Structure 1
Amino acid sequence: MPRKPSPGDESEWKSSLQRYVRLFNRTESEQNARDLSQYVADALHAERLQQRTDRLRERDLLRGAIPAGSETKAELIRVNESAGEVSVLVRLHVKRKMEQKGMYYMEERQETERLWLRRDGRDWTVLQVEPVVSERRPRYGISAQLQEQDSDTLLPEETESMLSGSAPYLNYELMPGFKRWKGGIPYRRELAAAYADRWWNEGNPSFELFDVNCTNYVSQCIFAGNAPMNYTGRRESGWWYKGRAGNRENWSYSWAVANAMAAYLSAARKGGLRAVIVSSADELQLGDVIAYDWNGEGRFQHTTIVTAFDSAGQPLVNANTVPSRHRYWDYRDSYAWTSGTKYRFFHIPDLL
């Protein structure tokens, strides 16, 4: 008869997990994956980790940036135990203090990993590590299949007045406070960045929270910077959000889907939210947007917003699917990054 897990088992595997977290933090601080790679009995992940660490070290050397300290905290999300085996889903909150040209800044991110551990005599071995690479998932929910079905994405005019979505649907045409801006509505970059820093690691309860939340989060930030919604009632057009009414999702694809937002910002228009595509990251300002095509295949899967700059004037960005705050813009420290990754840099004008 199989032996049931004992309290001693839990104490022992948690001790092994704690050691894993300490070695993870050392890897972040020293930019050397040797000790962690040797601790894990997963050759595939050891290679994956080494490649990421090498990219990070090379990039930071070119930037003239070095880690001045690192802290990693772990949160257990889910645990499945059996006699002699355990699998855990763990969230790692990483803080790295960076020094560059005599100045310091703090970058943060929260990564999620699945670990499988097995008892090996008196010890527990980390058999397998699987990073949860949420940035690679272009869809944002069960309704994503409707993205290609125009007939299901329209809001019938006769029912539109009956839909009562959650905040923050606003009709700017009815807001006289904006009427005085004959040249357009000022884009408040500092407000967009402040909102991004406030909600980088959690969801604003006034909005839906998606499994893949990066573009929804960036849209909220832009909206917080006074960008006017372009409400059309058609999910495949405009840039708008009304919330959920029953089972109906009342927001445009451009609000919540990375590729749709990139297409919307790329299109020419005279008023409202729009952007200019610039050639390099150092042309961006606070509140501007970067879209990421991980494989270079012409479809964008991730979106970030510029919230700060390093000592060299390069953007630091926030994101929300893998919560990130003041992360260096190129994402070479992400498992989603590939040698084929392409970027699109969007500068939002000062007047919308």
Structure 2
Amino acid sequence: MIEIDWEASFQAHVGKLCEWWVNRPADFDIVLNADERLRLQRRSLRLKSTNCEIEKAIGRTRVARIEEKREDQVVDYRLHMQWLIKQSGRFYLEERIEDRQAVLRGSSIVADGLRTPSLKKEEGTPASAPSASGKDPKAGHFRGSYNRLNAVRYAEVWWNRRNPAFPKIENDCTNFISQCLFAGGIQMNGQPIRNRGWWQQYSNWSFSWAVANNLRWYLSRSGNLIGAVETDKPDKLVPGDVICYDFEGDGRWDHNTLVTALAPSGQPLVSAHTYDARHRDWAYTDSPAWTDRIQYKFFHIRDGK
């Protein structure tokens, strides 16, 4: 039966990918799309440059949909990868969820790669980037003390799930980071004006709550309610802090992550949504959105009121 052949071939493909991460032989004989190979090569170089070794890799799959197209089977599936990484004699675990699509011809896989999330403009994005100049209109308002342990705990619970108490948003990275900050005790303010403060209420929210570009600029504002202070290096961050990403280097910020741990080297490990990840290397060199023009912003969240 084709289904039996497909299952065997598919599991062998995932097993070979896990084995490659551990041994990383020069002969790359895994069927992957060209952009996937580049991603893996960039990550391999990053592992080498940071003196990291993958001791074990485990991949678990869940098929979402199978579609017949002429002689091919197109399989949409979710891959949960776990990597046990060794650095300086110490270990940490990285996890990632990827929505992928494989194409099988008979019992052989002929293509495999990420299903890229929609890159359409995020809901609620203004026509132009907000200015970071001036003060937040509620500067000096009580924001609540920040419990970074609670923020990190929230990220650990919800990194690969969606909390039904908050709005469901397709490009969810910033919505997730805002939830983490709120779990850490940062109080909302500015309702119901969408370009003021930082807040979420029922099915409405401020631009700064859910739009990557707007949160980045809000964090730079003097007196922002979140209590963010920009720093110049990632190794000055601690768990509970925030990193912002401009993949194209064009001034429009695309993604946000929360620092949830530190690698043995002291460099941040981050958790995020959209491509759900836990304890991922902060530099994101193996992201499908990465370019050599990437820009970062590093924000420390003050603990006091």
Match of 2:244 among 269, 277, 291: 291
CA contact (8 A) 2:198 2:225 kept: no
Say whether residues 1:18 and 2:5 are aligned partners: no
Larger relative helix fraction = 1
Task: Please tell me whether residue 319 in structure 1 is matched to residue 272 in structure 2.
Answer: yes
Distance across 1 between alignment mates of 2:294 and 2:143: 35
2:36/2:114 contact within 8 Å kept = no
Q: Which moved more, 1:283-292 or 1:9-18?
A: 9-18
* Partners of 1:25 and 1:72 within 8 A in 2: yes
5 Å-filtered alignment, 1:175-194, equals 185-194=144-153
Q: Could you state the TM-score of these two structures normalised by the residue count of structure 1? A: 0.78
- Residue of structure 2 equivalent to 1:303: 256
SS of equivalent residue, structure 2 residue 209: helix
| Residue in 2 that maps onto 1:159 | none
| 1:231-310 alignment, distance < 5 Å | 231-244=190-203, 250-269=204-223, 272-310=225-263
What's the CA shift for 1:128? Answer: 2.7
Distance 1:67 1:254 in 2: 37
Quote how far apart the aligned CAs of 1:333 are. 2.3
Residue correspondence of structure 1 range 43-54 to structure 2 within 5 A: 45=33, 47-54=34-41
Moved more, 51-60 or 217-226: 51-60
Asked if 2 retains the 8 angstrom alpha-carbon contact of 1:31 and 1:56, the reply is no
1:209-254, Cα deviation, whole Å (9 max, x unpaired): 222111101000000000111223111222100122xxxxx11111
**Secondary structure of the equivalent of 1:80?**
strand
| Secondary structure of 1:147 counterpart | coil
Q: 1:29 to 1:336 in 2, by over 3 A?
A: farther
Aligned partner of residue 68 in structure 1, secondary structure: strand
Q: Distance in 2 between matches of 1:193 and 1:348?
A: 13
Q: Is structure 2 residue 292 aligned with structure 1 residue 333?
A: no
Given that residues 197 and 225 in structure 2 are in contact (C-alpha distance below 8 angstroms), is that contact kept between their aligned partners in structure 1? Answer: no
Unmatched 5+ residue regions in structure 2?
129-140
- In 2, the alpha carbon distance for the partners of 1:78 and 1:226 equals 40
Instruction: Give secondary structure in 1 for the equivalent of 2:35.
Output: helix
Structure 1 residues 222 and 138: alpha-carbon distance in aligned structure 2, compared to 1, 3 A threshold: farther
Deviation for aligned residue 1:138: 6.2
Alignment coverage as a number of residue pairs: 293
**1:107-186 correspondence to structure 2 within 5 Å:** 107-119=94-106, 124-134=107-117, 137=119, 139-140=121-122, 144=123, 146-148=124-126, 185-186=144-145
Deviations 1:238-274 (A, max 9, x none): 2100122xxxxx11111111111101111112x6213
CA distance in 2, matches of 1:12, 1:108: 29
The 2-side partners of 1:85 and 1:54 are apart by: 28
Give the conservation status (yes or no) of the 8 Å contact 1:31–1:54: no
Give SS of 2:179's match: helix
Unaligned runs of 5+ in 1: 1-7, 151-181, 245-249
Aligned-partner Cα distance in 2 for 1:14–1:203: 29
How far apart are 1:33 and its partner, in Å? Answer: 7.3
**Counterpart AA for 1:128:** A
**Alpha-carbon shift at residue 335 of structure 1 (Å):** 1.9
- Amino acid paired to 1:259: N
Please give the secondary structure, in 1, of the residue aligned with 2:78.
strand
In the other structure, the counterpart of 1:162 is none
Cα 1:54–1:240 shift into 2, 3 Å: same
TM-score, length of structure 2 as denominator length: 0.89
The SS at the match of 1:148 is coil
Q: Structure 1 residues 232, 20: CA separation in 2 closer, same or farther (over 3 Å shift)? A: same
8 A contact 1:85–1:118 mirrored in 2: yes
2:77 is the counterpart of 1:77: no
Shift of 1:28: 2.6
* Larger CA Rg, structure 1 vs 2: 1
Q: CA deviation at 1:57?
A: 2.0
- Pair 1:21–1:253, CA change in 2 (3 A): same
The one-letter amino acid of 2:194's match is R
Partner Cα distance (2:176, 2:25) in 1: 33
Percent identity between matched residues is: 35
Asked whether the 8 Å contact 1:137–1:301 carries over to 2, the reply is no
Q: Residue 3 of structure 1 aligns with which residue?
A: none
Pair 111,34 (structure 1): closer, same or farther in 2 beyond 3 Å: farther
RMSD: 2.2
Question: Cα distance 1:285–1:194, how it changes in 2: closer, same or farther (>3 A)?
Answer: same
In 2, Cα distance between equivalents of 1:348 and 1:20: 43
Provide Cα deviations, 1:298-347, integer angstroms capped at 9, x if missing partner.
11111100000011111111011111111111111222212111111111
